Amino acid sequence: MHPHLVFWISALVRMLTVLGGAAVGWFFWGLVPGLVLGLMGMVFLICVQLHYLLSLADWLDHPSSARLPDGWGAWTEIFSRLYKLRRGDEKNQAELTEWLARFRQAMSLLPDGVVIMDDVMFLEWCNPTAETHLGLSLTQDKGMRVTNLVRTPEFIDYIILGRYDVPLTLSFRERKLIVHIIPFENRRQILVTHDVTESERIDMMRRDFIANASHELRTPLTVINGFLEIASMQPDLDVSIRSSHIKLMSEQGERMQRLVEDMLTLSRLESMEYSVRHERINMRALLGQLLQEAEALSAGRHHISLEFDGPDIQGSSDEVRSALINLITNAIRYTPEDGTIKLIWKNLPQGPKFIVQDNGIGISAEHISRLTERFYRVDKSRSRETKGTGLGLAIVKHVLLRHHANLVIESIPGEGSKFCVQFPADQVSLG
State the DSSP code for 99.
H
Instruction: Work out whether 259 is an interface residue with ligand ADP (CB under 6 A).
Output: no
Tell me whether residue 168 or residue 393 sits nearer to ligand ADP (CB atom).
393
Report the DSSP beta bridge partners of residue 303: 340
Tell me whether residue 149 or residue 266 sits nearer to ligand ADP (CB atom).
266
Contact 287, 308 (CB under 8 A): yes
Q: Amino acid identity of 276?
A: V
Instruction: Work out whether 220 is an interface residue with ligand ADP (CB under 6 A).
Output: no
Strands 113-118 and 123-126: antiparallel
User: 41-70 b/e with 16+ CB inside 10 Å = b?
Assistant: beeebeeeeeebeebbeebeeeeeeeebee
Angle at 301 between CA 297 and CA 304, to 5 degrees: 75
By CB under 6 A, name the one of 189, 389, 422, 427 that touches ligand ADP. Answer: 389
Stretch that binds ligand ADP, among 12-20, 137-145, 155-163, 388-396 (CB under 6 A): 388-396
Calpha distance 402→62 (Å, rounded): 65
By CB under 6 A, name the one of 358, 359, 399, 407 that touches ligand ADP. Answer: 358
Site string for ligand ADP, 44-73 (x = CB under 6 A): ------------------------------
Contact 341, 302 (CB under 8 A): yes
Contact 386, 361 (CB under 8 A): no
By CB under 6 A, name the one of 224, 361, 400, 405 that touches ligand ADP. Answer: 361
Instruction: Work out whether 304 is an interface residue with ligand ADP (CB under 6 A).
Output: no
The radius of gyration of the chain's CA atoms, rounded to the nearest angstrom, is: 44
Tell me whether residue 310 or residue 392 sits nearer to ligand ADP (CB atom).
392
Q: How far is the CB of 330 from ligand ADP (least distance, A)?
A: 3
Q: How far is the CB of 335 from ligand ADP (least distance, A)?
A: 7
Tell me whether residue 245 or residue 333 sits nearer to ligand ADP (CB atom).
333
Total residues at interface with ligand ADP (CB under 6 A):
22
Calpha distance 139→283 (Å, rounded): 59
By CB under 6 A, name the one of 41, 339, 352, 360 that touches ligand ADP. Answer: 360
Q: How far is the CB of 388 from ligand ADP (least distance, A)?
A: 2
Instruction: Work out whether 129 is an interface residue with ligand ADP (CB under 6 A).
Output: no
List the one residue out of 380, 365, 363 whose CA is nearest residue 414. 363
Q: Which helix (H) or strand (E) holds 367?
A: helix 365-368
Calpha distance 268→261 (Å, rounded): 10
By CB under 6 A, name the one of 82, 191, 213, 363 that touches ligand ADP. Answer: 363
Tell me whether residue 158 or residue 345 sits nearer to ligand ADP (CB atom).
345
By CB under 6 A, name the one of 193, 252, 330, 357 that touches ligand ADP. Answer: 330
Report the DSSP beta bridge partners of residue 184: 188
Instruction: Work out whether 325 is an interface residue with ligand ADP (CB under 6 A).
Output: no
The SS3 of residue 254 is: helix
Contact 220, 255 (CB under 8 A): yes
Stretch that binds ligand ADP, among 190-198, 235-243, 265-273, 387-395 (CB under 6 A): 387-395
Q: How far is the CB of 373 from ligand ADP (least distance, A)?
A: 8
Task: List contacts with ligand ADP (CB under 6 A).
Answer: 326, 330-331, 334, 358, 360-361, 363, 371, 376-379, 383, 388-394, 417
